[in-house]
Amino acid sequence: MINLKILKNINQIIERDSKDTTYKFALLRGVIESVQEFAHLRKEEEDRIIMPLGLLIYRWLEYYYPIIGSPYFIPQKNGEAQGKSLAFRSKFKSLTESYSMKGRMSAFFNDLKKGKLESDVSQLVFELAKKLRETITKMPMKYIGYSVYGDYYKIFQYESSLVRSPKNLDLSYLIDNFGYYSFPKDYYTVFEYLGSYLTGKNAILLAWADFTVKCDKQRTLTTEKVLQEIMQTPVDIREVRGAQQFFLQEKWQGNLECIWSGKVINDDLSIDHVLPFAIWKNNDLWNLLPAKAEINNKKRDKIPSESLLNKRKDCILHYWEEIKKTYSEAFEKEVRIGLLGENLFDTHKWQLQVFDALKSKCDYLINTRGFEPWYI
């Protein structure tokens, strides 16, 4: 049976755990695909599932080969273009270069699976595998789950082993000689049943795009091209000009207060999406409030916490009241659709009604969907 709390934890990990590199995504993807394709290699011990660490290393070789072997630079770490390199990029680059004239990625993995790597390449891959093991176990395995549990190695744990350079390096050698890692059975169940949705392999949009390509008798479409089209939205984040003009009126000069910090806004006005545009593409009047540019930049895609909403309640209600005076009909319609649902707009005490609805929406996004709360 699926433990929904674990699914919520995974959502929170994806949204809140460190995003300094792509390691977190590579680890989760690797574990999910290993669970779904190599379940026969698992062992069970009390409430944990044990899998070969070498299989995860092999997955990372698959994931990062096309990225590092690309003819153009694809950063995988914040600031990597400025010299902060991935721990294993240089060794990996040597590998991709060695196969650049020998069939590239497909040829390499064919040779690796069959144990036909040339001796110098075999030694290079062995050293790279050890570096990948070090990176996996000391980085994402350590930190994944910190936002949920407040401690390290709370989900993934590993058992390493001393490994000697082999005479014949292949996939079976990686599986048999690079130790093991483990994680709770509850997570295994989620990965087993829902993992393909988490990785995107069975995502509805991807299935839609693939089906569209199959319907194309002219053979002119690609999945990538169709995805680009069907992911378009009529709502544009730039459509905040009306709110911006509203808060630039003379009546606000010297009296425009940052919705979150309470500081006076002078020439640094920024229109903040209370509920971030990246999470909910919504340009409703109630969702567009003035903030200092610096504060808005710090908030980014975070959700206002309950404590912050309560602290800034009077300011929020004040702006809503002023907006309603000018755009009464539009404001009421948007509030009803965006926040209240079937609840009737109460003309006498709508302020508290709408404010409570906003708090409920933020609570849902933080505590059910796992998005990061915003404090100041």
The answer to whether residue 217 is domain-embedded is no
Q: Is the pLDDT of residue 156 over 80?
A: yes
pLDDT at position 254:
82
Per-residue confidence at 341, pLDDT binned at 50, 70, 90? confident
Look at residue 253 in the predicted model and tell me its pLDDT.
Answer: 81
**Among candidate residues 264, 254, 318, the one with its CA nearest the CA of residue 291:** 264
Average pLDDT (330-356) is 89
Q: Domain count of the chain?
A: 2
Do 189 and 273 lie in a common domain? no
**Opening angle at CA 108, ends 102 and 111, nearest 5:** 105
Instruction: Decide: 191 and 134 in contact? Cβ < 8 Å.
Output: no
Alpha helices by DSSP H, listed for 2-76, are 4-16, 23-37, 53-68
Question: What does pTM read for this prediction?
Answer: 0.84
Task: Provide the pLDDT confidence category of residue 84 given band limits of 50, 70 and 90.
Answer: confident
Determine the average pLDDT of the residues in 241-261.
90
Q: Specify whether 36 is located in the same domain as 172.
A: yes
Higher pLDDT, 360 or 241: 360
The residue range of the domain holding 335 is: 241-374
User: Is there a single domain that holds both residue 139 and residue 12?
Assistant: yes
Same domain membership, residue 294 and residue 186: no
**Domain-located, residue 191:** yes
Q: What does the alpha-carbon distance between residue 370 and residue 148 come to, in Å, rounded to a whole number?
A: 9
Residue 216 lies in a domain: no
Residue 144 lies in a domain: yes
| Residue bearing tokens 């049943």 | 193
Gap between the Cα atoms of 339 and 283, Å rounded: 13
Question: Same structural domain for residues 35 and 135?
Answer: yes
Element (H, E) at 291: strand 288-292
pLDDT digits (tens, 9 = 90+) for 121-142: 999 999 999 999 999 999 999 9
One domain, residues 144 and 279: no
The rounded distance, in Å, linking the Cα atoms of 94 and 336 is 59
Residues 23 and 130 in one domain: yes
Q: How sure is the predictor about 177, in pLDDT bands with cuts at 50, 70 and 90?
A: very high
Token readout for 188 is: 């295994």
State pLDDT tens for residues 273-331.
999 998 988 999 999 999 999 999 999 999 999 999 999 999 999 999 999 999 999 99
Q: How far apart are CA 326 and CA 322, in angstroms?
A: 7
CA atoms within 13 A on the CB side of 158: 20
Radius of gyration, alpha carbons of the chain: 26
Q: What pLDDT is stored for residue 19 in this prediction?
A: 78
- Return the pLDDT at 369: 87
Structural domain ending residue among the three candidates 171, 201, 231 = 201
**Distance (Å, whole) CA 332 – CA 273:** 18
Q: Tell me if 343 sits within 8 A of 353, measured CB to CB.
A: yes
For residues 355-373, give the mean pLDDT. 93
Domain-embedded: residue 298: yes
81 pLDDT above the threshold of 80: no
CA 186 to chain centre: 21
* Run of H or E including 299: helix 293-299
One-letter amino acid of 253 = Q
CA distance 6 to 25: 17
231, 224 contact by CB (below 8 A): no
E strand or H helix that includes residue 193: helix 185-199
C-alpha dihedral sign at 314, 319, 325, 331:
negative
Contact between 294 and 362 under an 8 Å Cβ cutoff? The reply is no
Same domain, 118 and 248: no
- Does 135 lie in the same domain as 25? yes
SS3 304: strand
- What share of the chain has pLDDT > 90, as a percent? 76
Mean pLDDT score across all residues of the chain: 92
* Chosen domain end from 178, 201, 224: 201
Residue 7: count other Cβ atoms within 10 Å of its Cβ: 18
Determine, yes or no, domain membership for 21.
yes
Name the DSSP class of 39.
G
Instruction: Check: CB of residue 182 under 8 Å from CB of residue 46.
Output: no
CA separation, residue 295 to residues 258, 298, 300, 316 (Å): 8, 5, 9, 16
Out of 144, 176, 201, pick the residue that ends a domain: 201
In this structure, are residues 159 and 106 in contact, taking their beta carbons and an 8 Å threshold? no
In this structure, the answer to whether residues 182 and 265 fall within a common structural domain is no
Indicate if the pLDDT at residue 167 is higher than 90: no
Answer yes or no: is 208 within a domain: no
Range 221-243 average pLDDT: 83
Structural domain contains residue 40: yes
Q: Which residues pair with 288 in a beta bridge?
A: 273
Q: What are the pLDDT digits (tens) for 9-23?
A: 999 999 888 778 999
Q: Same structural domain for residues 96 and 170?
A: yes
Residues 75 and 150 in one domain: yes
* Mean pLDDT confidence for 197-210: 90
Task: Identify the residue with better confidence: 340 or 343.
Answer: 340
